[in-house]
């Protein structure tokens, strides 16, 4: 697909950073993604659900429910090979590692809203405020939402919410697929480095020996589904592209290893493993064709369990 095609469908990517301040002590686990998603889900349901005694599948209102759309995502138009469509909201830790939160400690995490789901931003922020009332982490620590900042570019942010004004500050600017794909790379060397575990299934099996082709396919496949569900139309960036020819001139050296974390599933009432590969891949050669895709994947995450913040990585020049 021609990345410079003015008729290329677009997908808006709304990328935020959240700052909270502890009111009571609590413990943040080594992998906070499950904690963030679980607490947020409970809070969002408290905020919007009017029929709490029923499951979503039994609820007459599920087709127009904000909680169901953001958290229990289903699609009216089945996609071939996709049984569980990706969520339009990604909550993720900025880094891994536990933290002992004392009173007045600061913690930050991120979330991304994709495409048309941005209409529900006020509910997302209100649910984060509600998380602070309900308590989070071991010890159910209470916290205040201090501020929410939106990325207007890769490195720059603007405040859209603060505790004192307690209102959304209008900001129309967002990252878009087209702008991200305009990224150019003249460097002959790049490093792909994971931030959270990456779970890629190849032919139905989780892999720990990931190739560059696997990564590029994963980005393109995820974009294809997200753009169809939440954007202006389906985007297939690998269409009419000879990927094997492009990758033939790129050498890679990988240092990946499987890393396991545990998460508690309230639904299954059990601790589950939620691991993936961690490490980096060094790429050398003509990287100009795949660089825009690699940049895009930084925002949409790739692989399994992206809703828990997995599959987040960065590209280092």
- CA dist 118 and 124 (Å) reads 9
Q: Tens place of pLDDT for every residue, the chain, 317 residues?
A: 555 666 678 899 999 999 999 999 999 988 899 899 999 999 999 999 888 766 777 788 888 889 989 988 765 555 555 667 899 999 999 988 888 999 999 999 999 999 999 999 999 999 999 999 999 988 899 999 999 999 988 888 999 999 998 888 888 777 888 888 888 888 899 999 999 999 998 888 888 889 999 999 999 999 999 998 999 888 888 887 788 888 998 999 999 999 887 766 666 555 667 789 999 999 999 998 899 999 999 999 999 989 889 999 999 98
CA distance 180 to 177: 5
Residue (of 218, 216, 195, 194) closest to 206 by Cα position: 218
Domain ranges of the chain: 13-175, 178-316
Nearest residue to 283 via CA among 154, 193, 174: 193
Distance CA 84, CA 74 (A): 7
Fold exhibited by the domain 178-316: Alpha-Beta Plaits (3.30.70)
The phi, psi pair for 131, rounded to 5°, reads -55, -40
Q: Which residues contact 301 (CB under 8 A, 6 or more apart)?
A: 90, 92, 222, 309, 310, 311, 312
pTM above 0.85, yes or no: yes
Distance CA 117, CA 302 (A): 19
Nearest to 136 by CA among 38, 270, 13: 38
């Amino acid at each position: 697909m021609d990345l410079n095609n003015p008729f290329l469908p677009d997908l808006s990517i709304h990328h935020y950073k959240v700052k909270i301040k502890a009111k009571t002590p609590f413990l943040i686990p080594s992998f906070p993604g499950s904690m963030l998603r679980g607490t947020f889900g409970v809070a969002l349901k408290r905020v919007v659900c009017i029929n709490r005694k029923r499951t979503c599948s039994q609820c007459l209102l599920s087709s127009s429910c904000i909680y169901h759309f953001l958290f229990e995502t289903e699609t009216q138009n089945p996609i071939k090979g996709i049984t569980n469509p990706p969520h339009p909201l990604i909550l993720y830790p900025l880094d891994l590692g536990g933290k002992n939160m004392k009173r007045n400690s600061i913690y930050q995490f991120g979330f991304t809203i994709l495409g048309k789901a941005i209409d529900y931003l006020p509910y997302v922020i209100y649910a984060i405020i509600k998380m602070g009332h309900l308590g989070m982490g071991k010890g159910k620590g209470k916290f205040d939402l201090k501020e929410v900042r939106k990325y207007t570019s890769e490195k720059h942010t603007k405040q859209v919410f603060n505790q004192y004004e307690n209102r959304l500050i209008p900001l129309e600017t967002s990252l878009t697929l087209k702008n991200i794909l305009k990224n150019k790379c003249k460097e002959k060397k790049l490093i792909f480095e994971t931030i959270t575990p990456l779970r890629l299934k190849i032919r139905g099996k989780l892999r720990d020996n990931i190739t560059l082709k696997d990564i590029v396919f994963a980005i393109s496949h995820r974009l294809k589904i997200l753009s169809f569900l939440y954007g202006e139309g389906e985007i297939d960036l690998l269409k009419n592209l000879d990927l094997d020819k492009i990758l033939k001139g790129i050498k890679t050296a990988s240092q990946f290893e499987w890393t396991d974390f545990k998460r508690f599933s309230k639904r299954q009432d059990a601790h589950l493993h939620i691991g993936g590969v961690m490490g980096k891949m060094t790429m050398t050669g003509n990287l100009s064709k795949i660089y825009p895709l690699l940049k895009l994947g930084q925002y949409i995450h790739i692989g399994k369990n992206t809703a828990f913040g997995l599959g987040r990585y960065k590209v280092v020049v």
